[in-house]
Every structure is written in C-alpha cells, then in structure tokens.
Amino acid sequence: CAIPPSDHPTHSNGPKCPSAPRTPVCGDTRMQHKDLLLPQHPQSCGTSSRSPPASCRADPSGHLPSCITPFQSSLLAIDLWASKRLGVCAGEGSAWGSARPLMKVIEVSGHGIPWLLGTFYGLCHSDSSAAREVLLNLLFALLLDLVMVAVVKGLVKRPRPTHNKMDMFVTISVDKYSFPSGHATRAALVCRFVLRHLVLAVPLRVLVVLWALIVSISRVMLGRHNMTDVLFGLLLGYALYGVVEHCWLSPATAPTLFALWSR
Ligand SMILES: CC(C)=CCC/C(C)=C/COP(=O)(O)O
C-alpha cells in the first residue's frame, strides 16, 4: 500500500492534524471518508471529502466516539480496505459478478422475513406441544434479534460500504446502516438454536454450520458489509442465544402465551 502525498492529513484551508494517520491506497480501492463510520461534522478537522484522518473526526456532537485511537482507526482502515477487496460480488461488473445471483439467494436464506413466516407457519400447524415450545422460542429469538440489531444499528449509524448496491429484499429504515450485520446475527443465533434443539444427523449439523458461515461471508462478498460488521454480528447472535436460553419460554413460565397456541 502507498500513501499518496495528496492524502496528507494537513489540509490547506482547514485545521492542522499532525498526529492523524494517513489513509492507505491499494490499487483502485481507495477508501473514502464516507466508508468510515459516519457523516462528518462540519466543524471537525478533516473537511476534505478525500480520506480525512480518522482521529480528527473525534467530535463530541458527532456520532464517532471521541476516544478513537490511532490504533483503532488503523484497524478500521484495514477493515474498510480488506472488505472492499473482498466485495467481489458487489455488482454485476465485479470480479465475481456472475456469482451475484447465487449470493442473493444465500442472502434470502438468512433474511428475517422467511424465518419469521416459516416459524409462524410451523407454530400454527404443529400438533405437538414440544414442537410448539421450540417454535415459540425460535419466534422470540428472531424478534429479539431484529430488535437488538435495529437498536445497535440506530446507535452506531455506520453507513454501508460505498460499493454496496442497495437492492436488498425488504428492508426497514435502520437497514441503511451496516453495523452489525443482521444476517450474521441471525445466522449465528439460528445455528446455535437449531444445533441445540433439533435432533439432526452429523452431516446435517455440519450443513447448518456451513450455512451460517456462508451467509456471513456472502455479506462481505456482496458488498453489503465490512468484515467487522459481520464479525460483531456473529458474536452478537451467539450471545443472544444465551439470552434466549436464559429466558426460555415454557408452559410454566408463560402459560398465557402457550394457551394462545394450544389446541
Ligand atoms: C424486514 C425484516 C423482518 C427484516 C429485515 C432483514 C434485513 C434486511 C436485515 C439486514 O441484514 P444485514 O444487516 O445483514 O444487511
């Protein structure tokens, strides 16, 4: 990676930022300011639209944490650069653009709508009380996941990568933000849930784990997310399963809810 002189953090008509890191440029994957967390505050140091220094974006009235260190901003820069390189299905003209339709099928397999509708359908049509208990808890897990992801996205407000084409199947307003990946949280949560509560043969268990990994990797390949969005999403989904397990709904703990679904 080279650092072009034009990206030096001192701007001719703005405040000087001597300690700010410069932005690496590799091939045509130059990072832009909007790739970093948030829209810039007008008073913050880097007023240029070209790679302003991350540490100068620390702004008490803005959305970036004021404590971001040069080390953290370097990690973010690496994340943006590597994610852009890995976004090989971000468009039809991208390096692996022909695989984009397949990636979009994988995307739908991890989308909230099919999971919510499928779980609800199963709940309405299941005859066994044990199956109803598992499905009711899966529904709770999926809703909890949607709420948590929406809250974190709304708080962090990290924009999606600039190379992302916003052509996703059914989104809600916070889905313009990227951190964390809702698909990754759902994949990790559903994977843990299924492995714990469904009796599956080993090859099927392996397939479930592979599905979760493929859904997660496809988020970066499609250009929807940076790697840190997906990694945090996986951790969040994994942790959310712990909450679901802790609050496990049963006829003893939630009798009214179970009465709704009993026949
Ligand atoms: C509308 C419903 C029920 C769910 C939205 C699902 C969705 C579009 C999540 C965004 O996922 P990423 O954060 O991985 O892009």
pLDDT tens digits, 88-120: 999 999 999 999 999 999 999 999 999 999 999
Question: What are the counts of helices (DSSP H) followed by strands (DSSP E) for the chain?
Answer: 8, 0
Q: Are 187 and 194 in contact (CB under 8 A)?
A: no
Summarize pLDDT for 201-255 with one digit per residue, the tens: 999 999 999 999 999 999 999 999 999 999 999 999 999 999 999 999 999 999 9
CA of 149, closest atom in ligand 1: 13
198, two tokens: 């469904």
Distance from residue 183's CA to the centre of ligand 1 (Å): 6
Across residues 57-86, what is the average pLDDT?
76
User: Is residue 163 flagged as an active site residue?
Assistant: no
Q: Which is catalytic among the residues 11, 41, 63, 225? A: 225
Which mutation among 106, 157, 172 tests ligand 1's pocket best, with the greatest number of atoms within 8 A of CB? 172
pLDDT above 60: residue 36: no
Dist. CA 229–CA 218, nearest whole Å: 12
Tell me what ipTM this predicted complex has.
0.96
Dist. CA 186–CA 216, nearest whole Å: 10
Distance from residue 23's CA to the centre of ligand 1 (Å): 31
Phi, psi dihedral angles at 74 (to 5 degrees): -65, -40
CA nearest to 111, candidates 202, 172, 154? 172
Dist. CA 30–CA 53, nearest whole Å: 14
Distance from residue 261's CA to the centre of ligand 1 (Å): 27
End-to-end CA distance of the chain: 65
User: Is residue 197 flagged as an active site residue?
Assistant: no
